[in-house]
Amino acid sequence: MKINSNNLHQVLQAIRDYAADKENDAERYVLAEHLSMAAYPKFKFSEFGRIFLEDEEFLSYYQSIMDPENWHSLDRKYVMSQTLNLVTNLPGDFVECGVYKGATALLLCRVAQGAGRSVHLFDSFEGLPEPGSNDGDYWKAGSFAAGSKPTEEILASFSCHRIYKGWIPDRFAEAGDEPVAFVHIDVDLFQPTWDSLEYFYPRLSPGGIVLFDDYGFLSCPGAKKAVDDFFADKPEQIVSLSTGQALVQKLF
Ligand SMILES: C[S@@+](CC[C@H](N)C(=O)[O-])C[C@H]1O[C@@H](n2cnc3c(N)ncnc32)[C@H](O)[C@@H]1O
């Protein structure tokens, strides 16, 4: 049978019906793995039955903030929510560089509010600046322009945060002199990744975490280069994760 764009819908429906007749989820998972290997062998399925895929509270947070059917950052948001546990007993504020519509800022505020921490949120809200020579050709100036309203709305029930609208690093100094326990850097490009690290790394508490959202993406070579170059002369090691994220824990 030849599959084409005209009959794809029917083929998918036939697969859905076939999957529904399977005995259990484990069998459906094996079917999905076969289909995936046939269509895109480069993608490697992980083990069946991971508990984060059954975490209803987390799944409902995710569905409440993301477009329907967009599961692309479920794993990264889960990793971020768990990585915050590493700083539970450390002093310091939370910082995010690259906020977009506030999805990950919400994770920060949920933890910070009860713990008496402040959350400092930096974004142009006009999207990316002009990419530089290290950034490849995937991104364009203005990608992710969303204005600050979606973030203000999603965080309306929290009093622990402050939004700094402007170009990184222009407003960093307004965050004050408190130590920082956790920094989330998600700006896709070399220069703002470098500027964020240059400012906040010295302000991190020992044991504090920097989580990079875009270190391991082919679309973000500049973000990876900024992290690699910055830590080349530092004692900390970069932990590259299979989600595309990377993290660094401040030593001293
Ligand atoms: C991928 S989005 C952030 C997504 C967000 N952390 C989340 O997970 O929902 C990247 C953001 O970085 C911001 N950004 C990138 N470079 C910037 C710069 N130089 N100054 C200010 N904001 C910047 C963009 O405006 C955009 O909102």
**Structural domains in the chain plus CATH codes:** 1-49 (no CATH), 70-249 (3.40.50.150)
Q: What is the pLDDT of residue 41?
A: 97
In the predicted structure, residue 226 carries a pLDDT above the cut 90: yes
Centre of ligand 1 from the C-alpha of residue 72, in Å: 17
Ligand 1: which of 99, 138, 211, 215 to mutate, most ligand atoms within 8 Å of CB? 99
Q: What is the pLDDT of residue 165?
A: 98
Centre of ligand 1 from the C-alpha of residue 30, in Å: 37
Residue 97: CB within 6 Å of ligand 1?
no
Q: What is the pLDDT of residue 106?
A: 98
pLDDT band for position 191 (cuts 50, 70, 90): very high
Q: Do the strands 161-165 and 119-123 form a parallel or antiparallel pair, or are they unpaired?
A: parallel
Q: What is the pLDDT of residue 181?
A: 98
Residue 98: CB within 6 Å of ligand 1?
yes
Q: How far apart (Å, rounded) are the C-alpha atoms in residues 164 and 96? A: 10
The answer to whether the CB of 146 falls within 8 A of the CB of 171 is no
Note the pLDDT tens digit of each residue in 122-172.
999 999 999 999 999 999 999 999 999 999 999 999 999 999 999 999 999
pLDDT band for position 1 (cuts 50, 70, 90): confident
Q: How far apart (Å, rounded) are the C-alpha atoms in residues 153 and 136? A: 33
Note the pLDDT tens digit of each residue in 80-134.
999 999 999 999 999 999 999 999 999 999 999 999 999 999 999 999 999 999 9
Residue 124: CB within 6 Å of ligand 1?
yes
Residue 154: CB within 6 Å of ligand 1?
no
Q: How far apart (Å, rounded) are the C-alpha atoms in residues 181 and 205? A: 6
DSSP string across 82-127? HHGGGGTTS--EEEEE--TTSHHHHHHHHHHHHHT--EEEEE-SS-
Q: How far apart (Å, rounded) are the C-alpha atoms in residues 30 and 48? A: 9
| Average pLDDT of the residues in 196-214 | 98
Q: How far apart (Å, rounded) are the C-alpha atoms in residues 167 and 177? A: 20
Alpha carbon nearest to ligand 1 atom 5, residue? 99
Alpha carbon nearest to ligand 1 atom 12, residue? 98
Q: How far is CA 121 from CA 36, 172, 184, 231, in A?
A: 38, 10, 10, 23
In the predicted structure, residue 5 carries a pLDDT above the cut 90: yes
Centre of ligand 1 from the C-alpha of residue 210, in Å: 16
The answer to whether the CB of 143 falls within 8 A of the CB of 100 is no
| Average pLDDT of the residues in 191-204 | 98
Residue 246: CB within 6 Å of ligand 1?
no
Q: What is the pLDDT of residue 107?
A: 98
What percent of the chain stands above pLDDT 90?
A: 99
